[in-house]
Chain A
């Protein structure tokens, strides 16, 4: 919201937001946000799968839990690897 609002307000506010997000505290916040977002997304998909009545055996529930953690880690790592390499250029 802040980012969109600043962008719509003009180049200076936008640059200020970009500067903050590029600082170590900004990056840390973005990193935490990305982990939470990916975790919520993966676990949300797991719940939607349960809601249609699939994967409710105990072994699948455990497996799904690990799959959620693994895909959260994978999505976070891939996103940051691509994003940071993009940033370096």
Chain B
């Protein structure tokens, strides 16, 4: 059935016209989560490839060489972008797993909050480490 066909009473839409126009569905956020997951995935493609190549190039680097590398401007920028994008993407992905598999309402909420907290914690820890090296004396 296409949208502009008149629905027969037996197939009357369950959604109100307003609900359909706003288009947010029962979860009240529409395709926002799905879309953010895709955008962060796309951002992570070049960042991940860059990171893998960088890590391979850094194999066996001593501390001084490593810090020098971080301090050359682009690595610090890309590392921070990578940390933000990857922990954001991680949180979005884990959120779906938790929502799908943890059924108790209290447990689900607790798991979601804990997961978000850990993702933010790891991301901030990483960003701080990069900034410390990039800006440190």
Q: Which A residues lie at the B interface, using CB under 8 A?
A: 1, 4-5, 7-8, 10-11, 14-15, 34, 37, 41, 44-45, 47-48, 51, 79, 82-83, 86-87, 89
Contacts and interface: CB of A to CB of B under 8 A. Distances in A.
Mostly helix, strand, loop or mixed at chain A's interface?
A: helix
B122 interface: yes
Mostly helix, strand, loop or mixed at chain B's interface?
A: helix
B41 A79 contact: no
Interface string B80-120: 00000000000000000000000000000000000000000
Contact of A87 (B60, B67, B128, B130): B60
Contact of A8 (B60, B62, B129): B129
A7 B56 contact: no
Contacts of A14: 63, 66
CB-based closest 9 A-B pairs: A8-B129, A11-B63, A4-B129, A8-B132, A14-B63, A86-B59, A83-B56, A5-B129, A87-B59
